[in-house]
Structure 1
Amino acid sequence: MPQPLRLKEHEQERSLVNGRVKACALLVLSLAAILVGRLYVLQVLQHDQQTAVSENNRVHVLPIPPERGLIYDRNGVLLAENTPSFNLTMTRERAGDAAKVLDSLVDVLALSQEDRQQFDKDLRRARKPFEPVTLMFDLNEEQIALLAVNQFRLPGLDVEAQFIREYPLGEHFAHSVGYVGRINERETKFLDATEYRGTQSVGKTGIEHFYEKQLHGHVGYEEVETNAQGRVMRVLNRHDPVPGEDIHLSLDAHLQLAAEKALGERRGAVVVLDPANGDVLAMVSNPAFDPNLFVKGISFKQYAELRDSIDRPLFNRVLRGLYAPGSTVKPEVALAGLDSGVITPSSRVFDAGYYELPNYDHKYRNWNRSGDGWVDMYTAIMRSNDTYFYDVAHKLGIDRLHDYLTEFGLGQKVSLDMSEEAPGLMPSQDWKRATRRQAWYPGETLILGIGQGYMQVTPLQLAQATSLVASKGVWHRPHLALSVGGQPPVDEHPMPDIVLHDKRAWDQVNQGMQMVMHDPRGIARAAAAGAQYRIAGKSGTAQVVAIKQGERYNRDKTLERNRDNALFVGFAPADHPKVVVAVMIENGEAGGRVAGPVVREVMDSYLLDKDGHLKGEYAGASPAAPAPHT
C-alpha cells in the first residue's frame, strides 16, 4: 500500500535557512572584526616595532673589529705588530647543516680530526646572528684555490682578509710582551660582548694581557642590506672602529739580546732596572718559546711539548720563579742591623768557620769551613761571611728582620704592570704559626739572615731590593710600560721610601758591595777585572736541597737539577748608579764565578759604547780603584 506524501513546511525551512544565514553572517563579521583589529594593532599600535622587525629581515649590523695597538721598545723597535692574513670564516645562518659543511671542509683541505674538534669549539662561542666566526688563519694560496673550486659544497664559508698579531722578534720578548690567543668560553663571560663582537683574539699573558683594554680599541659597525640567503647586497651605514693605543715599553731590545747572550743556554733569569725610575730595561727568562704559535691556535701536540718540557719554557722565571735568595740579601740584612743599632760598621765577630747559639751545640757553618777570623761589616759583605750575618740575624730577631726585609719588597708583589707576578714569601712567627702550626725556632732566624730557609723571592723582587740599595731607599715600582697612548703609567698605590736613622748606612753598605768586586780579597773580584767603572755587587749561592749537619756539598754526587742555584746582584757605576742587574742561574752552583760574569757582561753592554769606552753620559763615574776601608 503506497505511503502518503509528506507536505513541505515552507515556513519551517525558511526559518532554518534564515538562521543559518544569520549565523554565517555573524561569523564573517566576527572574523572581519578580528582581522581589522589585528591590522590596527600591527599597522598602528605596533608600527615602529614591526617596521624594525621588517628591516631586520633585510638589514643587519655587522661589527668591524678595531686594529690592535702596536707595541714598541724604548727606542722604537717594533715588538708586536698586525699583519694582513687571509682567514676562513663561517656564518652559521648561511651554512644550513653546519656539521655537514665542516665535514666537507675537512675533506677538501685534508685536515685532521683535531682541527674538526676545534671548529666545533669555535662555533659554540657566543655570538650575534649572521656574525662570522673565524675558523682558520693565514690560508695559503693552495687552500684558497681549493676553497674557491669547492664553494658549492661549502655554503656559509668565506675567505676574508683580516689583521692578525705577529711578534717579529719571536721568543726574545715572549715573557714580557706576552701573546694573544683565541678567546675561549671562560673569557667570553667576562669580556664586553659589544666591544668584542667580531674580535677573535685577546691578550693572554704579559703586556698584551695587562693592557688589553688600551690595546684593543673600540669596535665599529656597518649596517648592511642582505638578501634572503644572507649575502650582503650593499652597505647602508658605517661607523669606523677606534684603533687601540700604541704602547712604548721601557725595554731595550739591544740590551735584551745582550742579556740573553750573556746567559747563554743556561736555565735562569736576568732582570735589568733603572734605579732612578723603575724602568725595566731587560727581562730574560730562559728558555723561552715562540709566541706566534699561540696567535693562530696552537696544536695540541705543540702545546703538550711546551707544557711537558722538563725545562719549562712557558714558565716565567722572572715573575713566577720562587727561589731562596742566598747571600744576595746580606746587604739588606746589614742595613737592618745598622739602622736598628745592633751593629756598627766596625762591629766585629770572630769566625772560626761556624756559629753557635748560646746554650745550643748545633753548629751553623760558614761557607768557608776554615773561617775568616775577626771580621767587621765591610769584610763580612766582601767575603760573604755567613757567621757574621748569623750573629746579626740573631741580634735582630725574627720580627725586626721580617719587617726590615719586607720594606725592601721581598716576599711581596712589587711591579706596577706585571699581573703574573708571584708574591713570594717572607716568613714570620705569625706565618709559621698559621701555616705550620709550629713555633718559630731561633735557628730559623739565623738561616733567614743568609737568605735560606722558608724565604722565597722572585728575581724581580731581588732586583728591586738591590735597586733600593742603589737609590738609597727611594721606591720606584718596576714597570714595563714607558707610555700608553702617549701617557706614562701612574702608580696609584706608591710604596713609602725607606728612611734610615743614619743616612750614612747606605754608603757604608755600598762600600762593602764595592769591596766584593774590587778588593783583592773580594769573592767576585774576577768578574770586575778590567772594568772602567766601579761596581757594587753581591753574590749568592742557594741550596736547592738540604744538606745534613756535618756533611759537605759534593757536586759529583748531586743530581744536576739538585745542585745549588747561582745568584748575583749589582749596580753601577757604584757612586751614581744608572743600572741594576739581578741574575739567577738554576743549578749554576757558584754565584760569584757563574752569575757574576753575566752581570758584568750586561753592565758593559749598557754602559760602554761599541768601541768599549764608557759612554759620555757616564764619563763622570769614578774609575775602578780599590775602595777605602774605613
Structure 2
Amino acid sequence: MAPKRVVIRDHSAEANLFARRSFIALIIITMMASALLFNLYHLQVTRYDDYQTRSNGNRIKVLPVAPNRGLIYDRNGVLLAENRPVFSLQLVPNEIKNLEQTVAELAQLLNISDSDVEDFYKDYRGQRRFKPVTLLNRLSKQSVAQFSAHQHRFPGVSIEARLTRYYPHGDTLTHVLGYVSKINQKDLKKLQEAGQEANYAATYDIGKLGIEKYHESLLHGQVGSQEVEVNNQGRIIRTLNFVPPVPGKDITVNIDVEMQKVAQQALAGNRGAVVVLDARDGGVLTLYSNPAYDPNLFVHGISRKNYSALLNSADKPLINRATQGQYPPASTVKPHLALLGLENKHIRLDTQIFDRGVFTLKNVTHKWRDWLSWGHGHVNVTDAIEQSCDTFFYDLAYRMGIDEISGYMAQFGFGEYSGLDLYEESSAILPSRGWKKARMGEPWYMGDTIVVGIGQGPWTATPVQLASSVTALVNHGTRYVPQVFRGIHQEGQTVVAEPKIREPIEVADMTNWHIVLDAMYGVNHREKGTGRNSFKNTSYLSAGKTGTAQLVSIAQGEKYDAEKLDERHRDNAMYVGFAPYDDPEIVVAVALENAGSGSAQAGPIARMIMDQYFGEGNATLAQNRNN
C-alpha cells in the first residue's frame, strides 16, 4: 500500500483570509452604524421640528370655540332674544369605520326619526369628513343618559353642549327680529366669498331674516380656540391653551314690545300690518305683520310638515306685510297730493269745487265716482282731506298731471326702499309714464292720472313707506330713515345711535305744511272728519287720514257690495296718523286686507296703539269699534 499524504495547513494563509473577512465585515458594520447614526441625527436633529409637530399633532388638537351670540333688548330693556343651553349628538365621519351601521344603531337606540337621518346624510355630503356633523339636536335628559351608557360602542360620536337662540315672545316679533337657523351650503358659500368662513368654524347657526340677519356682524362675535391633548381614542385629556372667543355685542332695538303686543291683539283674525315710528328720529316702535309664526320652530330645524303648512298657507304668514305688503295707498296720500297742489299753485286754501258725486271730462263718457254717491257739495282743500272727497282730488290730479305727481311723491319715499335695516323689503310701485311704458308697453292716459289722484290704479305702497312719508309731513320735510336698531347695549345702558336723515323736501311756502296738517287734525276731531268716531274722548289730540282701497273694478252704474264679492276681493282698510298734534311723537300706519272701510276698521286699531303709547291702553278693540 502506498503511504497517505499528509496535508499541512497553511496557518499564515488562513490568518490572512480571516483578517480580510474581518476587515470587510468591519467595513460593512461601520457603514451600517454610520448610516444608522446619520439617520438618527437626521431624525433627531435635522428634522426635529417637523417630527415634533407631527408627534404633537397625534396628541394635540386645536379646536375652535364658538362665541356667544349677542342678546337683543327692546327700548325698555325687555329681553327679546336670548341664548339657552342644548345638547346635540355629533359624528366625526373620518373617525367612524362604518358610518351607515353607526347611524342605524344610534337611530334605534335613541329613536331618531327617518327625516333626521335624511337631514344628517344631506349635511354629511356637503361637509368635510374631519368636521363634526349633527345627527340629532335638542337631546332630552333621557337620551343623553342613554347614549352616555353606550358611548363606548360609538367611537367618533359625542354629545356636545352649546348655547342656542330662543325667542321668549314667539310670534309677536317674528317679522322684525327674524330668526337664526343652521348654516347651509348657500350660507357657507357667502361666508367663504366674504372671507368669514374661519370665524364660523365652530358656529352652527346664522341669522336668516330680520334684525338677526341684518346685524349678523354685530351679533355673532369672534371665534376663539383651545389647544387640547387627546389620547389614542381621541378623548380630551387636558387643555393646554385657551384663547377665549369674543362674544357678539348685545343690541337694543327701538321696538316697544308692549306696543307690539297691542298691535298683535288688534290684528287678531285679520291679515295686515301695523307700523309705528318715532316722529322725532324715525325709530321703529312697532312693526307687526299678521299672520305670523313662531321663529323658534326654525332655530333647531323646522319639520317638513310645519314648513309646508307655512309655505302653502293662503294667508302667507312668511311674508312681512309691514315691509313687503304692497297696498294701494288710497286716500291716505291725499294730504301729500294736497301739499303738491298748494306748493305748485294749482289750488289755494280758498279754492273750491262743487262735488255732485262724480267727476267727468269733456268728450269722455266714463264717470269717476266719489265714495259718497250724492257728493259733498262745495269743498275746499281742508274739507276735501277731512271728508276724503274723491272728486276734489280727481280734479287736482287732472290739473297736476302724472309727471308732477310721480316726481314729487318720489321725494316722500314712494317707489323706493325706505332704508329700513331689514333686508326683507319691497320698493312697491310709484307709477309714471316711463314705468307704464316699460312694464306694459303702453302710453300713459289721462284716466290713469285721475285714479292716481286718490291713491288707486297701479300705485302701491308698503306700510313702512306710508309711515315714513307721514313722518316727513309732520317734520315739515325732514326725512328720517326708519331704523329698528337703537344702539349697543352695554352694562345695562344703551349707546343710542344717531338718526339717519335723507335729503329734505323743500317747500317754498311754509304755510302749506300747516294747511295740510290742520286738515289731518280735522279728520280725527272735527264734525265731518272720517276718523272722528275712532278718536272720541282722547286725552291727547291727534291727526290722521283714513283710506279705503278698492281692489276690483266696479262697472259703471253698479254699486259696491262686499257680500257679493269673494273675501279676497273686498276693499282694504287703511289709516295713517300721528300724535300729539301740536308736538308729534309717534306716527302710525295701519293696513288691513279685505277688511272694508278705513275709518271703521283701521282707525280703531290706530287708536288702540296711540292709547297704549299715551298710557290709555285699557280700551279694547271692540270698545273702540263701538264708539
TM-score normalized with structure 1 length: 0.89
Letter in 1 for 2:180: V
Rounded to whole Å, the distance in 1 between the matches of 2:281 and 2:213 is: 23
Residue by residue, what CA displacement relative to the aligned partner does 1:321-368 show, whole Å, maximum 9, x if unpaired? 111111111111111111111111211122121112343222111111
Q: Which residue, 291, 294, 315 being the options, matches 1:290?
A: 294
2:251 — aligned with what? 247
Describe the shift of the 1:611–1:384 C-alpha distance in structure 2 as closer, same or farther (beyond 3 A). closer
Rounded to whole Å, the distance in 2 between the matches of 1:72 and 1:183 is: 24
Rounded to whole Å, the distance in 2 between the matches of 1:45 and 1:546 is: 89
Rounded to whole Å, the distance in 2 between the matches of 1:210 and 1:66 is: 18
Describe the shift of the 1:335–1:45 C-alpha distance in structure 2 as closer, same or farther (beyond 3 A). farther
Describe the shift of the 1:95–1:501 C-alpha distance in structure 2 as closer, same or farther (beyond 3 A). same
2:527 — aligned with what? 520
1:430 — aligned with what? 434
Rounded to whole Å, the distance in 1 between the matches of 2:466 and 2:221 is: 36
2:175 — aligned with what? 175
1:222 — aligned with what? 226
Secondary structure of the residue aligned to 1:462 is helix
1:402 — aligned with what? 406
Secondary structure of the residue aligned to 2:548 is strand
Rounded to whole Å, the distance in 2 between the matches of 1:201 and 1:81 is: 14
Q: Quick check: 2:478–2:502 contact (8 Å CA) kept in 1?
A: no
TM-score normalized with structure 2 length: 0.89
Residue by residue, what CA displacement relative to the aligned partner does 1:196-229 show, whole Å, maximum 9, x if unpaired? 0111100111111111111000111111112222
Secondary structure of the residue aligned to 1:603 is helix
How many pairs are equivalent? 590
Secondary structure of the residue aligned to 1:319 is helix
Gaps of 5+ in 2: 1-23, 620-627
1:333 — aligned with what? 337
1:147 — aligned with what? 147
Secondary structure of the residue aligned to 1:190 is helix
Q: How many angstroms does 1:154 deviate by?
A: 2.7
Q: How many angstroms does 1:153 deviate by?
A: 3.6
Q: How many angstroms does 1:540 deviate by?
A: 0.7
2:359 — aligned with what? 355
Rounded to whole Å, the distance in 2 between the matches of 1:335 and 1:31 is: 103
Mean Cα displacement is larger for which, 194-203 or 427-436?
A: 427-436
1:602 — aligned with what? 609
Rounded to whole Å, the distance in 2 between the matches of 1:70 and 1:139 is: 24
Rounded to whole Å, the distance in 2 between the matches of 1:420 and 1:566 is: 23
Secondary structure of the residue aligned to 2:479 is coil
Letter in 2 for 1:469: L
Rounded to whole Å, the distance in 1 between the matches of 2:395 and 2:34 is: 103
1:585 — aligned with what? 592
Mean Cα displacement is larger for which, 207-216 or 120-129?
A: 120-129
2:21 — aligned with what? none
Q: Which residue, 231, 236, 240 being the options, matches 1:232?
A: 236
1:210 aligns with 2:214: yes
1:475 aligns with 2:482: no
Letter in 2 for 1:572: A
1:81 aligns with 2:58: no
Describe the shift of the 1:24–1:515 C-alpha distance in structure 2 as closer, same or farther (beyond 3 A). farther
Q: How many angstroms does 1:55 deviate by?
A: 2.2
Q: Which residue, 344, 349, 359 being the options, matches 1:345?
A: 349
Mean Cα displacement is larger for which, 85-94 or 453-462?
A: 85-94
Q: Quick check: 2:387–2:529 contact (8 Å CA) kept in 1?
A: yes
1:8 — aligned with what? none
2:98 — aligned with what? 97
1:538 aligns with 2:545: yes
Q: How many angstroms does 1:599 deviate by?
A: 0.6
Rounded to whole Å, the distance in 1 between the matches of 2:107 and 2:589 is: 51
2:13 — aligned with what? none
Residue by residue, what CA displacement relative to the aligned partner does 1:148-178 show, whole Å, maximum 9, x if unpaired? 2332443322222211111111111111111
1:549 — aligned with what? 556
Q: Which residue, 433, 444, 448 being the options, matches 1:444?
A: 448
1:461 aligns with 2:430: no
Letter in 1 for 2:386: M
Rounded to whole Å, the distance in 2 between the matches of 1:323 and 1:43 is: 78
Q: How many angstroms does 1:132 deviate by?
A: 3.0
Describe the shift of the 1:358–1:100 C-alpha distance in structure 2 as closer, same or farther (beyond 3 A). same
2:113 — aligned with what? 112
Q: How many angstroms does 1:24 deviate by?
A: 13
1:52 — aligned with what? 53
Rounded to whole Å, the distance in 1 between the matches of 2:89 and 2:145 is: 12
Gaps of 5+ in 1: 1-22, 613-630
2:503 — aligned with what? 496
Q: Quick check: 1:104–1:154 contact (8 Å CA) kept in 2?
A: no
Letter in 2 for 1:478: P
Q: How many angstroms does 1:456 deviate by?
A: 1.4
Q: Quick check: 1:565–1:585 contact (8 Å CA) kept in 2?
A: yes
1:382 aligns with 2:386: yes
Q: How many angstroms does 1:183 deviate by?
A: 0.6
- 1:118-129 aligned at under 5 Å gives the runs 118-127=119-128, 129=130
Letter in 2 for 1:340: N
Q: Quick check: 1:94–1:229 contact (8 Å CA) kept in 2?
A: no
Residue by residue, what CA displacement relative to the aligned partner does 1:357-398 show, whole Å, maximum 9, x if unpaired? 343222111111211122110111011111111111111111
Percent of aligned pairs with the same residue? 43
